Chain A
Amino acid sequence: SQQGEEDPQALSIQEGENATMNCSYKTSINNLQWYRQNSGRGLVHLILIRSNEREKHSGRLRVTLDTSKKSSSLLITASRAADTASYFCATDASGAQKLVFGQGTRLTINP
């Protein structure tokens, strides 16, 4: 079954507002990563958080990880139209060199 599942599946907000996306997973992990995908394009790595970390920041991005609940959240502050994209969480699978992706959250920023 799918390792990571994002919530909500779609999110539409006004420019300048904050966007929060959640991800849940099922098995133990070494790290969790977030990726962005613009329509029709490849994936761009945003941020990686390790299992022993609880929070990480990168620019306007803030990621949290709760291993007891097997969940993570991605917060984008002061959203911009250019943030419109799909966002995916991905976890490493049992130490293997492969990522297990969720189905993604489609984020739309309205100007």
Chain B
Amino acid sequence: NAGVMQNPRHLVRRRGQEARLRCSPMKGHSHVYWYRQLPEEGLKFMVYLQKENIIDESGMPKERFSAEFPKEGPSILRIQQVVRGDSAAYFCASSPPGGGVNTGELFFGEGSRLTVL
């Protein structure tokens, strides 16, 4: 059973371009979470999605950031018109139905490291 797959692992963008980060959850997992980690800091929650639904986006910046988890395919975190402050590692986690924060069944991917020039 493959783990949570994120790609690309590294992405370089110039200011003003768009960044798309993809996350394929573990097999059988229907819940996806995105977190952002700035250098030398802990992870900060961004958004929690289930298939075709955004459940909690309280950590998402109001502008330029969006996330989706379609019925088919991976979850996508999209950052439009990137700025230098968007440079960070973006981690995706997935959990099975009934799992997640309450049970510790939260499995993280290796992250996508975005560098904005």
Contacts and interface: CB of A to CB of B under 8 A. Distances in A.
* A and B form one complex: yes
A98 B107 CA distance: 13
Contact of B106 (A2, A45, A96): A45
B104 interface: yes
A92 B40 contact: no
B69 interface: no
A41 B111 CA distance: 7
Contacts of B35: 101
A34 to B, nearest CB: 10
Contacts of B41: 103-104
Interface string B75-117: 0000000000000000101000000111110111111000000
A41 B110 contact: yes
Central interface residue in A41, A44, A47, by most chain B CB within 10 Å: A41
Contacts, number: 66
A104 B33 CA distance: 20
A99 interface: yes
Interface string B25-48: 000000101010000111111001
A70 B67 CA distance: 34
A99 B101 contact: yes
Contact of A98 (B40, B42, B56, B104): B56
B73 interface: no
A30 B42 contact: no
18 contacts: A2-B42, A30-B102, A31-B101, A31-B102, A41-B110, A42-B111, A43-B93, A45-B107, A47-B104, A48-B103, A88-B42, A92-B102, A98-B33, A98-B45, A98-B48, A98-B56, A101-B43, A101-B44
Q: Top 5 nearest A-B pairs by Cβ distance?
A: A101-B42, A48-B104, A98-B45, A42-B108, A43-B108
